[in-house]
């Protein structure tokens, strides 16, 4: 079982461990290490250099090349590549799908470009209320937190719920107390705030729109992984929707809606207007179709998005990995920040809709 370990000396005693303070390591992508970050030891437990696959997302919405500057596009592509590279290095060393998914999410939570952790969107109460979840496909163990406001990395709180609580989902103050009791890093609320998100909130409040529209909603983060042991995991983290009601909980911490993993079928992470993903049980639906009617991963994902989600009037997308190592993406928005990597050398990042020739246009 993974443990949160404070102190590099302790961590260094574990064979094959990686620590977040190991700034020079090839495991750590640029920008991951912060002096305030908890030290984490990941214990390698799978054979090194065997088949694995992963996918990540950084939110879905209206992304058009015309309205995105070359610099912004390059920044997103670089971060997604860095994060996947850190996942690749962990998997090549035999780290688990669960640890790898968690680690990649932490990297995205720490990057203010994304709507998770630092840089999360504001709720109508003018604070950042964050949700996260993580699921282990082996036994279908899961942990989640909702509406946390001071836990530096919400995904670590979700993981602590998975590892050390008898519950699946803790919310608000209770989740924060639990995170404190587990020794997770607690930060002032201001840590999460950025001017860009403040401006989006003020604009939204002025328009009197309770929820954000696809034009301004980007940046929930997710990861799905199949490791060298053949195990699957999924993880998702978000600030939710700009100007959401105080106390609103989206799909991200709801197992089966925003996140799902079952070793026998698939691991899925979602992004989009959460209410529809909850109503459609979108992430679990993918695995259910694979189980009951034997659909391949991509077919089941396309059904979940283009039939079920569309039918409800929802918008967003999902990423998935299958038990066979296949990787899939499906979305009904203009674009989705996304990437995939495999042990066969694939490392690709896409943002926009694909054109007829399969290019990221
Ligand atoms: N699914 C998230 C939520 O509804 C938001 C998003 O993915 O953009 O909270």
Which domains does the chain possess?
Answer: 50-352 (3.60.20.30)
**Model confidence at 12: pLDDT above 70:** no
Task: Assess whether the C-beta atom of 220 lies below 6 angstroms from ligand 1.
Answer: yes
State percent of the chain over pLDDT 70. 85
Q: Which of 175, 125, 142, 155 is nearest to 238 (CA)?
A: 155
**Which pLDDT score, from 0 to 100, does residue 28 have?**
37
**Model confidence at 13: pLDDT above 90:** no
Task: Assess whether the C-beta atom of 238 lies below 6 angstroms from ligand 1.
Answer: yes
Average pLDDT over residues 142-162: 98
- 309-319 pLDDT, tens digit each: 999 999 999 99
| pLDDT band at residue 354 using 50, 70 and 90 as cut-offs | confident
Q: In terms of pLDDT, which residue wins out, 28 or 342?
A: 342
Three-state SS for 24-59 is CCCCCCCCCCCCCCCCEECCCCCCCCCCCEEEEEEE
Distance CA 290, CA 180 (A): 39
Categorise residue 280: left if φ over 0, alpha if ψ from -120 to 50, beta otherwise. alpha
Task: Assess whether the C-beta atom of 97 lies below 6 angstroms from ligand 1.
Answer: no
- Torsion over CA: 77, 78, 83, 86 (sign): positive
Q: Which atom of ligand 1 is nearest to the CA of 249?
A: 9
Q: In terms of pLDDT, which residue wins out, 344 or 219?
A: 344
Task: Assess whether the C-beta atom of 59 lies below 6 angstroms from ligand 1.
Answer: yes
Weakest mean pLDDT among 4-18, 186-200, 241-255, 317-331: 4-18
> Residue 12 is inside which H or E element, if any?
helix 8-13
**Model confidence at 81: pLDDT above 90:** yes
Using the mean position of ligand 1's atoms as its centre, give its distance from the Cα of residue 335 in Å.
Answer: 15
Task: Assess whether the C-beta atom of 147 lies below 6 angstroms from ligand 1.
Answer: no
Using the mean position of ligand 1's atoms as its centre, give its distance from the Cα of residue 354 in Å.
Answer: 23
**Model confidence at 211: pLDDT above 80:** no
**Is 220 assigned a catalytic role?**
yes
Catalytic residue among 19, 100, 149, 220: 220
Using the mean position of ligand 1's atoms as its centre, give its distance from the Cα of residue 187 in Å.
Answer: 23
Using the mean position of ligand 1's atoms as its centre, give its distance from the Cα of residue 113 in Å.
Answer: 15
Distance CA 286, CA 266 (A): 8
Task: Assess whether the C-beta atom of 61 lies below 6 angstroms from ligand 1.
Answer: no
Q: Which atom of ligand 1 is nearest to the CA of 115?
A: 8
Structure pTM?
A: 0.90
């Amino acid at each position: 079982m993974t443990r949160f370990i404070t102190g590099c000396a302790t961590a260094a005693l574990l064979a094959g461990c990686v620590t977040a303070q190991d700034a020079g390591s090839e495991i750590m992508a640029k920008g991951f290490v912060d002096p305030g970050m908890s030290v984490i030891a990941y214990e390698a437990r799978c054979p090194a250099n065997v088949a694995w696959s992963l996918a990540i997302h950084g939110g879905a919405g209206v992304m058009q090349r015309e309205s995105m500057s070359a610099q912004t596009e390059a920044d997103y592509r670089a971060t997604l590549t860095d994060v996947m590279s850190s996942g690749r290095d962990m998997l090549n060393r035999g780290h688990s799908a669960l640890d790898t998914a968690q680690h990649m999410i932490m990297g995205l939570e720490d990057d203010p470009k994304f709507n998770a952790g630092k840089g999360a969107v504001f709720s109508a109460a003018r604070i950042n209320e964050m949700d996260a979840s993580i699921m282990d496909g082996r036994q279908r163990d899961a942990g989640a937190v909702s509406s946390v406001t001071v836990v530096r990395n919400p995904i670590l709180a979700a993981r602590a719920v998975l590892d050390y609580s008898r519950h699946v989902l803790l919310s608000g103050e209770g989740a924060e107390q639990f995170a404190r009791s587990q020794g997770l890093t607690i930060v002032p609320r201001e840590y999460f705030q950025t001017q860009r998100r403040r401006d989006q909130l003020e604009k939204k409040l002025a328009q009197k729109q309770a929820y954000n529209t696809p034009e301004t909603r980007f940046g929930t983060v997710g990861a799905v992984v199949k490791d060298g042991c053949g195990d699957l995991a999924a993880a998702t983290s978000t600030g939710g929707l700009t100007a959401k009601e105080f106390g609103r909980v989206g799909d991200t911490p709801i197992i089966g809606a925003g996140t799902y993993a079952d070793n026998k079928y698939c691991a899925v992470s979602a992004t989009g207007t959460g209410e529809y993903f909850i109503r459609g049980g979108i992430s679990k639906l993918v695995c259910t179709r694979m189980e009951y009617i034997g659909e391949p991963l991509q077919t089941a994902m396309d059904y979940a998005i283009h039939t079920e989600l569309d039918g409800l009037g929802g918008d967003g997308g999902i990423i998935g990995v299958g038990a066979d190592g296949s990787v899939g993406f499906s979305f009904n928005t203009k674009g989705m920040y996304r990437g995939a990597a495999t042990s066969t050398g694939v490392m690709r990042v896409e943002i926009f809709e694909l054109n007829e020739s399969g290019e990221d246009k």
